[in-house]
Amino acid sequence: MKILKMAKHDLDFFASVLPAFGEVYAPVQRGKGFVFDKPSAWSEVRMDYTRTILPPKKLLLPPRETTFSFDPDQGFTDNLAEASKPVVLFGVHPYDIYGLNILDRVYAEAKFPDPYYIARRRATVVIGIDFVPDDKHCAGSMNADFVDHGFDIFLSDIGDDYLVLVGTSRGDDIVVKSGCLMQPATEADFAEYKKRSRIRRDSYKTKLELGDLPEILEMEYNSKVWDDFGARCLSCSSCSMVCPTCYCFDVTDETELGNRAGRRIRSWDSCLLRTHALVAGGENFREERSSRVKFRFYHKQRGFVAEYGRPSCVGCGRCVEVCPAEINIITVIETIRGERDGISSSAPASA
């Protein structure tokens, strides 16, 4: 890994190089929130954003996409060419890069890899930036506030400059294209980086203990806590939709009226929706909201640990921000660990 530095006032010049590597998406403000979108001007880009409404997975695993079209006479035509269009994803926080690394394990390194995800991942340049945590971030507890892979370039604030970590050969190509904007980093730059890194770690307002959580979850499998959370949950699936690592999807075939030609559609799904575990014949393996809430947290904090060696939560705080019932991973973990007395719930919401 190569370590350089770049003056902050040269960021506009650096940005002018990026379109040569793909269509640029960056954090911009839309209404009261932030989104990864194509900026109309570089002045729109917000380097100081807290979190985007949707994570960058929306560009690699779109909420709804046509995977292929089919026709009884012509066979099928895939959309891999569309998925392979080059994209530059600028300004990604480390926990979201960690989220992409987790999706890599699921979609690219699995027994049956997904060609559409792989095509987009290979075609996407990832440029990361560091961030200042707010009261909803708990990425430090999830070991997701720093990444050493999954990006092409990573920018860390060191005052008047950015410390530039070059993570891939493609990142090195961008450095070369940038000409003289990048300079060798000095010992003073390294010292400033370490100081700011320590300050950022100490600034987390939300901290969670995860050490023996899988064992505690096993002990609390039949706890009444899940009924309490299930009574409060609205089954809206907002937390799953904004989660960087939720990867469930549904597949449907849409055919043209009076014709057998059509297309196969893949769209995001959620284990919190009542229809998620509904099978032919009307049987539903998770009819109760309490079982769906429990499954979500067991999968993230126990099942994923057993299979991949770490929880799938990256501590981005999005679920904390969007849940209308104020159920989130922080309150659930603290309640299960006995650090909270539980939650008070009103009349059960409709499923």
> Domain-by-domain residue ranges, the chain?
2-202, 213-336
Q: First and final CA of the chain: distance in angstroms?
A: 50
Q: Render pLDDT for 293-334 as a digit per residue (tens, 0 to 9).
A: 999 999 999 999 988 888 999 999 999 999 999 888 888 998
Q: Which parts of the chain have pLDDT scores under 50? A: 344-351
Dist CA 33 CA 150 (whole Å): 25
pTM over 0.75: yes
Segment (H or E) for 90? strand 87-92
Nearest to 316 by CA among 55, 103, 80: 55
Strands 87-92 and 23-30, by their bridges, are parallel
Q: What's the pLDDT at 211?
A: 85
Phi, psi of 279 (to 5 degrees): -120, 175
Q: What's the pLDDT at 258?
A: 83
Q: What's the pLDDT at 223?
A: 92
Specify which residues 156 forms β-bridges with: 163
Q: Which amino acid is at 226?
A: W
Q: List, as one string, the DSSP characters of 29-52.
A: EETTEEEEE--SSGGGB-TT----
Q: What's the pLDDT at 341?
A: 65
Which two three-digit tokens encode residue 208? 């969670």
| Helix/strand/coil for 285 | coil
Q: What's the pLDDT at 210?
A: 87
Question: Given phi > 0 = left and psi -120 to 50 = alpha, else beta, which region is 258?
Answer: left
Dist CA 188 CA 196 (whole Å): 12
Dist CA 351 CA 338 (whole Å): 28
Q: What's the pLDDT at 346?
A: 35
Q: What's the pLDDT at 347?
A: 37
